[in-house]
Every structure is written in C-alpha cells, then in structure tokens.
Amino acid sequence: MTTVLRAHAEDQYAEELAILAKDDDRVRPPGWKLSPWAVTAYILGDGDRITPKYIGPRRIVEVAVATLATDRALLLLGVPGTAKTWLSEHLAAAVSGDSTLLVQGTAGTAEEAIRYGWNYARLLSEGPSRQALTPSPVMRAMAEGRIARVEELTRMPSDVQDALITVLSEKTLPIPELNEEVQASRGFNIIATANDRDRGVNDLSSALRRRFNTVVLPVPATAEEEVDIVSRRVDQLGRSLELPQTMTGLEEIRRVVTVFRELRTGVTEDGRTKVKSPSGTLSTAEAISVLTNGIALAAHFGDGVLRPSDVAAGIVGAVIQDPVSDRVVWREYLETVVRERQDWRDFYRACRDAG
C-alpha cells in the first residue's frame, strides 16, 4: 500500500476496525461487520485507540448509523465541504468492510451505472446471459449484502435517479432481458450524498425522497471546532502525501479559518462589521486545501515554516471565483477588516501582494 496515493478507508484504518471488531460484543445487524455502537465509535473516535473521522454532533452520526440498520436508505445533505463524502466512505467501511461500491453522479451518468450494463462482445456472440451482464456497484452491493454509495445524487438526470426507486422500495433489481431479478441480501443499503447548492439542478422526486432518511450535515458550529477539523486533516494529508516536516503554526490555520468564516457568514467574528460574501462556498474542505498547499510551498520553496505568504495565494484563489464581483468583495474585506487588525499586518501585506 505504500505506492497508493490514497488508500481506501477500510485499508487505511484496518487496525482500528480490527480492534473494534475484537472488542465488539454488542448485537450486529445481519451482514454488518460491527455493531451500530462500534460503527459510531469508529466514526467519532474513543479518545484513545480510535481516531475521530468526523467531528460534529454525536446525534447526527447515531441517526445516520441507525438509519442504515433499517430498510430506509440514507441521504447525507449539506453545503459543500461538510464532509458528506468522507462520512459516507467511513460508514460504508465500518458497516460492510468495503467502501468501493461507488456511483459518482454527474450530468452524464447513465442508467447503467445504477442498474447494469452489457459486455457487448459476449452479448453479440452469445446473446443475453448472466456472463454477458456487467453488474453496477449497486447490483453488486445487493448481491453481496453491502453498502453502495451514490455521490452527488442531484447531479444525475432525473430518469437515472428514478432507477433507484424499485431498488429502494422492493429491494429487487429486475433484469427483463433475462426474465430474472436480483434480490438484495441482508446487509444491503445505500448511502447517497447531495449538495445544498445544487437545488434546482435535478431535484429529487417526492417518490424517491420518501425512500431516504435525510440527515443534514451542518457547517462547524464554532471557529474552534473548525480549526480543530482543519488542523487534523492538514496533518493527516501531510503525512499521507509525505510532505517534508513543516512548522505549521496554529496562528496561520486560525487566520485562514477566520477569513473563510467571516466571508461565508457575512459578518466579522466580533459581530461588529458586516461584509459582503463572495460567490464561492469557502468550505472547510477548501480551507484544508489552502493550508496543505501552503505547507508544500513552505517545505519546498521556503524555510520550512508556514508563513502568511505561503497561504495568501491560495486564499485569494479560493475567494475570487468571479474575477469581477469577487475581486471587489475581497479588496473591500482586505482594506476594511484585515488591514485594521494590528497583529495581521504581515498577513495583510501578503494577501495584498498576492492579489
């Protein structure tokens, strides 16, 4: 696994999953590798041997895990950067031991990605048969009793979305060409994710939405919580990418998080000054990306210490998505808020030069 850029959750955290499985004496739903209690402990951590994968309200995770133990599918809904994909991967890894049964939703996703396709060479030579059929990740999950993941559900065309209705309501997948069907084995379920910003793109039909239990993932409630999340993920990414050791000051992380939160909410941290918000989402995930890129700059082109100049360009790039309107918003924020903070002078100069 040393040559893999990003290991699957079940491989990266195999030791933690084994520890939980060994000590887990609670009731496990059919087909589950761990009990719901152990799955929750894996996601949130135990403060000792198990590292937290998601930092947020415990009840949200408990509701998500409990949903997977029923016959209802789980829909993780939230704004970009609220760890929907991250949480879905770790839930699938803990429940099924396999997070790879994935359908990535896009405008070009075809119905075959949900149902099945064909090996056309065999289809032409042999005719319709099980050997000529190419199962989708959803079909494989049904047959094996595992969790299937559907990412960005609302990005997929409506007719492709509706292919899930029979799967979720009847727990079967008809194959009319063979006059057969695949019935779901116990342990099967679906975790889907959807983006709040994509409302109106391909909204879910009421028939499909009724078959999901929706769990809304919130943005971090406080700055301290977001700083903690960003610090953990930046450290994990730095180690997985084998970046040279860099002095990552908490001050720079806090500055990036503060800038993102103030522009995202439209008000400064002290509540005294209203600011305009840019068109971008300025999510926690983007803050992590800005800081990881800054660490790479500091390690390879600097003195090994993360400084304002290392993160300034990344912040400017994240904020200015629209070169006209966002540039005005950023310049106004820089001059009216950042410039007035005495201990941010070096940060102000770096951002001004980068802009």
Q: Please check whether residue 40 is in contact with residue 90, taking contact to mean a CB–CB distance below 8 angstroms.
A: no
Q: What pLDDT is attached to residue 204?
A: 87
Rounded to the nearest angstrom, the gap between the alpha carbon of residue 130 and the centroid of all alpha carbons in its chain is 34
Could you give the CA distance from residue 123 to residue 118 in angstroms, rounded to a whole number?
7
Could you give the CA distance from residue 76 to residue 88 in angstroms, rounded to a whole number?
8
Could you give the CA distance from residue 163 to residue 186 in angstroms, rounded to a whole number?
20
Residue 194 amino acid letter: A
Q: What is the mean pLDDT of residues 278-304?
A: 90
Residue 158 amino acid letter: S
CB-based contacts of 62, cutoff 8 Å, min separation 6: 36, 40
Q: Assign 174 to helix, strand or coil.
A: strand
Q: What is the mean pLDDT of the chain?
A: 91
Q: What pLDDT is attached to residue 258?
A: 95
Q: What pLDDT is attached to residue 5?
A: 81
Confidence class for position 248, pLDDT limits 50, 70, 90: low
| More confident call, 92 vs 244 | 92
Q: What pLDDT is attached to residue 256?
A: 94
Could you give the CA distance from residue 85 to residue 195 in angstroms, rounded to a whole number?
11
Q: What pLDDT is attached to residue 86?
A: 95
Question: 41-75 pLDDT, tens per residue?
Answer: 999 998 889 999 999 899 999 999 999 999 899 99
Q: What is the mean pLDDT of residues 135-164?
A: 95
Q: What is the mean pLDDT of residues 86-106?
A: 96
Question: 331-342 pLDDT, tens per residue?
Answer: 999 999 999 999
Q: Assign 75 to helix, strand or coil.
A: strand
Q: Is residue 247 predicted with pLDDT exceeding 80?
A: no
Could you give the CA distance from residue 173 to residue 180 in angstroms, rounded to a whole number?
9
CB-based contacts of 124, cutoff 8 Å, min separation 6: none
Residue 293 amino acid letter: N
Residue 116 has φ and ψ, to the nearest 5°, of -170, 165
Rounded to the nearest angstrom, the gap between the alpha carbon of residue 227 and the centroid of all alpha carbons in its chain is 18
